[in-house]
Amino acid sequence: MTLWRLPATEIARMVRTRAVSAREVAQDALARLDAVNGRISAVVEHRPDDVLAQAAAIDAALAQGENPGPLAGVPVTIKINADQAGFATTNGVTLQRDLIAKDDSPVVANLRRAGAVLLGRTNAPAFSLRWFTDNRLHGRTSNPRDPALTPGGSSGGAAAAVASGIGALAHGTDIAGSVRYPAYACGVHGLRPSLGRVPAWNASSPERGIGPQLMAVSGPIARTIADLGLGLHAMAAGDPRDPWWVPAPLAGPDVPRRAALCLRPGGLAIVPEVEAALRDAARRLEAAGWAVAEIADTPPIREAAELQLRLWLGDGFSALAGAAEREGDPGALALMRAFRPRAEALAPDAIPAALTRRATLVRAWQIFLAHTPVLLVPVSATLPFADGRDLQGDAALAAVWEAQLLQSGLPLIGMPALTVATGLCGTAPVGVQVVAARFREDLCLLAGAAIEAGGVPPAPIDPA
């Protein structure tokens, strides 16, 4: 049996019932990693002996009649920007190659307590800054469906690993699409939870600025919607180290199965393939009993993206730009050069003004989603970018940022958002994005399951 092909829900069931051992699952996962990772460089560090030791501990717990947790024996990868005890939290930069974590971050600790077997560390761009995954320390990650395409970023290694069968579930982080876009680019699913849902903190690093605190979250990437739900359940356990964590229930009250379809939020110009995927997803929802109404626009999303950018530029930009200069990473430097004039032009009160206006936008979105439980919108304006597209000049970089309007705007609002892979256009994956009210990840997953039932790209796959 090729256990690496199975979803996390099935692996956990088989391990709990002792149909297979956690060690057998781990051995199979390591063999799959060895077989394909050399072609995509999704995992940049792993320790087979440690992986097998984790699996042995789960088997021992089962032998003693203990419950190992909901992720019993499931191989899970961890992104290189999260603390995992004994590993460097490199965040894709040579400057942090020796930044060894002494403790697990809350989300990693939660996965471990849930019975996951931590399989390896997945790649990200330098400083986790780009929608492309390449850096001077670990090299380039390839999209397993088409190496000419980006695997997305910044959780590009995580999505490429899941799509290739390296682990059933992956940890990712999302401050401007870093879970949702890699899932889209690699043809799998990715969930950005609400602010406060999944605890996060890196003891190895300084406290983050207010912008990242409000917008950066950890979330799961998987091949099935059910696996996303299982991963969220494990990741969302409370931890006193995160002051933003909220003890909200994972499921809310029943609501009417009503969704809004917005093809061009904020006036975003989308390609025909993206429009076709959205209309197809709407039909899938209707077939599952949802009432879907097309709307002309959403509450402010373009302004939300602008405020997100101001919070990034106005809080810590100089320090990040200096680190990028020392690192010398081309992608990071291109971003710093492009946005430096805007950072230097910000008014002294830019941060408090942005935070004040944020409250107005969040209120508008909350009122909208109170009446419209689910919103269906593009993930990106285009099919996945050619790899390195953002390094092809100022116009190309500007086009990339425009296409990612929903990726950068939605984090400011703090609502959950889900990427659902729906098909392929040649070798390029395509999918849709589902948004719901704060702490209603259950509605994202409910609608996502209905869309998934209409067909998804084949996964896992052998890398192209």
**Overall average pLDDT of the 163-172 stretch:** 98
pLDDT tens string 41-65: 999 999 999 999 999 999 999 999 9
Catalytic residue selected from 21, 41, 178, 218: 178
DSSP letter for each residue of 225-258: HHHHHHHHHHHT---TT-TT-----SS------E
Instruction: Report the pLDDT averaged over residues 412-431.
Output: 98
Q: Mean of the pLDDT values across residues 276-296?
A: 98
Q: Which of 79, 128, 142, 164 is catalytic?
A: 79
Of the chain, the percentage scoring pLDDT greater than 90 comes to 99
Q: Sign (positive/negative) of CA torsion 287, 289, 293, 298?
A: negative
Instruction: Compute CA distances 312 → 22, 242, 316, whole Å.
Output: 43, 21, 7
Q: Rounded distance, CA 6 to CA 14, Å?
A: 10
Instruction: Give the span between the Cα atoms of 402 and 317, in whole angstroms.
Output: 21
Would you state the structure tokens that stand for residue 100, as one six-digit string?
Answer: 């060894």
The contacts of residue 314 (CB under 8 Å, 6+ apart) are 211, 343, 346, 350, 351, 354
Q: Active site residue: 21, 41, 154, 155, which one?
A: 154
Nearest to 154 by CA among 233, 234, 92, 226: 92
- Decide if pLDDT at 209 tops 70: yes
Average pLDDT score, the chain: 98
Confidence bin at 160 (pLDDT 50/70/90): very high
How confident is the model over 227-243, as pLDDT tens digits?
Answer: 999 999 999 999 999 99
- What SS3 class is residue 23? helix
CB 371: neighbour CB atoms within 10 A? 10
Is residue 351 within a helix (H) or strand (E), and if so which, with residue range?
helix 350-371
Lowest mean pLDDT among 152-161, 248-257, 312-321, 393-402: 312-321
Count CA within 13 A, CB hemisphere, residue 224. Answer: 14
The CA distance from 217 to 232, in Å, is 12
CA-closest candidate to residue 386, choices 125, 144, 139, 148: 148
Q: Give 424's DSSP letter.
A: E
With a cut of 90, say whether residue 411 has pLDDT above it. Answer: yes
CATH topology of domain 3-452: Amidase signature (AS) enzymes (3.90.1300)
Predicted confidence (pLDDT) per residue in 428-463, tens digit: 999 999 999 999 999 999 999 999 999 999 999 999
- Please compute the mean of the pLDDT values over residues 372-395 and round it to a whole number: 98
**pLDDT at 376 > cutoff 70:** yes
**Residue 262 confidence (pLDDT) above 90:** yes
User: Mean per-residue pLDDT for 97-126?
Assistant: 98
Q: Roughly how many angstroms between the first and final C-alpha of the chain, as a whole number?
A: 23
Domain ranges in the chain are: 3-452
Task: Give the rounded percent of residues in the chain with a pLDDT score beyond 70.
Answer: 100
Q: Is 178 a residue of the active site?
A: yes
Q: Which whole number is the average pLDDT over 358-383?
A: 98
Residue 1 has pLDDT above 80, yes or no: no
- Is-catalytic flag, 102? no
Mean pLDDT over residues 388-399, rounded? 97
71 pLDDT higher than 70: yes
